Amino acid sequence: MSKFKKIFLRIHLVTFIILLINFIINGVFEIGLISNLRLVLKILFYGSACILFFYYVKPFKKRALYFSVYIFSPVLIFIGWLIDGIFGAILGSVFLFFFVPNDTRFENDKIQINTKFQGFLGSCCKYEVIEKKYFLFERKIGEFQSEEDFCFKKEGVKIQDNILQMHLIFKDYDQEKDRYVAKDTTIYAVLKH
């Protein structure tokens, strides 16, 4: 076995084990690795699988079938999208669910508010509130959904007694005056601790 093949195989196995342990711990204790670190691990996992496919395809070995999934899944998703847009969107959503990072809308030294990736057919504007723990870990402490896309300001977000208070200014249409007006709003979300 060549030196690079061993290195990529170790990268693939180690990242798989770390991601699996993170998934189990996140499901049981609701604490996991920060999203940026998870994204790097997923890219290493996927990239090493794509490279290993070419090592095992010639001469053909059974492991090449496993690694071919990583190579051909984007092609199959694209073909599914061409044949039937909804089927391709569902397949693409499942595939991208693992690789699309959450969009961070607010961040301070204690919490982070992200929009969740809902897939191509998902509803708009689902947010999750993440509490930062020990530099490398995070814990989801809340979730809320809205009909509008929010942009938060640092001074407009506060936590008091396990309640997230968000002060926002919306643009609302006044039909009587036939113009847009600013609407001052405060939204509350209950957090778990």
The pLDDT of residue 124 is above 90: no
pLDDT tier, 1 (very low <50, low <70, confident <90, very high otherwise)? low
The pLDDT of residue 4 is above 80: yes
How confident is the model at residue 119, as a pLDDT? 62
Could you tell me the pTM of the whole model? Answer: 0.75
Report how far apart, in Å, the C-alpha atoms of 181 and of each of 62, 156, 174, 187 are. Answer: 64, 19, 7, 19
How confident is the model at residue 116, as a pLDDT? 75
Q: Where are the domains of the chain?
A: 3-97, 103-190
Query: How far apart, in whole angstroms, are the C-alpha atoms of residue 51 and residue 54?
Result: 6
CA angle 72, 18, 57 (to 5 degrees): 30
Phi and psi of 142, rounded to 5°? Answer: -175, 165
How confident is the model at residue 168, as a pLDDT? 74
**Pick the residue with more confidence: 64 or 84?**
64
CA angle 100, 125, 86 (to 5 degrees): 60
pLDDT digits (tens, 9 = 90+) for 17-64: 999 999 899 888 888 898 889 889 999 999 999 999 988 888 777 888
C-beta separation of 170 from 150 below 8 A: no
Residue 175 per-residue DSSP state: T
Mean pLDDT of the chain: 80
How confident is the model at residue 8, as a pLDDT? 92
Residue 164: other Cβ atoms inside 10 A: 20
